[in-house]
Each structure stands twice: as C-alpha cells, then as structure tokens.
Amino acid sequence: MPSTAIDFHRFTIHFAVALLLFAPLLQALAAWRKAAALQTAARACLFGGAAAAAVAALTGFVASSEFRSPWLETHELLGFATAGLAVVAAGLLLWKPGAEPRSRGGLLALGGLCVAGGLAGATGYFGGHMAHGHGEHGPLAAGATGVAALENLPAALVPAHARFAQKCSLCHGIEKPLEADITADEWPDVVRTMAERSDGEITADDQELIVRFLQFHASHRVRGPTPDRER
C-alpha cells in the first residue's frame, strides 16, 4: 500500500469535508442576506472542496488497492460520488458564474451544494469509523489511553488494521481486544481460538493480518495508570 497515497488521502480529506460542508451554509446565507461576498466565499469553498475531494478519492483508491471490505467499498463509492458531484457543480458555476443567490440557478446551486455536503459528511463518517472504530473518540483515536495511536501505524499495517476492525467487530466491540492484557507472543493463539469460534468468518489470511496488527498494538500501546483495586 503506497504510503504517499495514504498521506495525501489523510491530508486532503479533511479539507474536502470541511469546505464542502461550509459551501452550502455560505450559499444559504448569501441567498438570505443577498450578499455577493458570501456567494463568492461559497464558490471558493466549492472549488477548493471539489479539488480536495478529487485528490482524496483518487489517493484513497490507490491506497486501498490491497484491501477490500463492505465498509471500505461504501466509503469509496460515497467518496467518488462526492468528488464527481462537486466537480460538476464547480464546472456549472464556472460556465454560468452570474446567477444570483435567489434566482432559479442560485437555488439549484444551493440544492446541489447541500447534496455534496451531505455526501461529504457520510463519506467522512464511514472513513472515521474504519480509522477509529467509533468516531474520533473511539478506541483507536490518537492518544487514547491503552491504545496504539493510529497516526503511528506503519503504512504496511493499514490493511491489517482494516481487517481487524472488520472481522473482530462481528462478535464483539473492537475495544475488547485492544484493552486486553495480552502480549504480542500470546496473540497468535488467541486469534486462532477466536477464528475457530467464528464459523468460518475469519479465514487463515484474516488471522495473519489480525495478528500482525494486534502484535504491533501490544508492543506500542500506551499504558495508562493502574486503577485502584476495590477495597
């Protein structure tokens, strides 16, 4: 998995989501207040968001070439839909730049921006779920006590983490193995036992990837303070 593509994807996706969410808000304010400056700002957000979404979609596709999952495929589909709609909307605005915010063209633009913003938010949700488990404060969030920060995960282990999140969430929350007091040497036997209980859902290839990630996590996890025992 090319690390350069991963880095570009992580960098550009935040701009794409933020700009495409701000664009419809600014366009709506422009229509309400009849402010040309707000409409200009909305268009700037759209152009920047469309460019960032296109780069994020392409780099994400390259970065995920070695791993497929239903969550990833949905995230990818939404990402390309977001980028495509944003690019088309930007092209239409360049073609007809003089539409007033309250005109038919301006209101159609607002509707398109709302759809693009909604798609960007949905794309970000699926991506955040895969990256952090349960959102930005989930068990894989950077700095979470007892958890190896995802930002420190080597590029070669990204497919292993994704397989872990996909397969280990079938029977229990992914917090359980991440918080377990299990050493790197013990994980192969534990994962083998879990695979035997999965009725074939976890294959030998799955086991290999899951063990690789959990061994990395066990070796790099942040140890929090030991809780007081109950008296």
Containing 86, the helix (H) or strand (E) segment is: helix 70-95
The distance of Cα 35 from the centroid of its chain, to the nearest Å, equals 34
Going residue by residue through the chain (231 aa), what tens digit of pLDDT does each one get?
445 777 788 788 889 999 999 988 888 888 788 877 888 888 899 899 999 999 999 988 887 665 556 667 888 899 999 999 888 888 877 776 666 656 676 677 778 788 888 888 888 887 776 665 543 333 343 333 344 445 567 778 888 888 888 888 777 777 788 888 899 999 999 999 999 988 888 999 999 999 999 998 888 765 544 444 333
Neighbours of 117 (CB within 10 A): 25
Both tokens assigned to 217? 């996590």
Distance of alpha carbon 210 from alpha carbon 89, whole angstroms: 42
Distances (CA, A) of 15 to 46, 50, 68, 225: 11, 10, 25, 36
Q: Please state the pTM of the whole predicted model.
A: 0.56
Q: With contact defined as beta carbons under 8 Å apart, do 116 and 20 qualify?
A: yes
Distance of alpha carbon 26 from alpha carbon 86, whole angstroms: 15
pLDDT of residue 139: 38
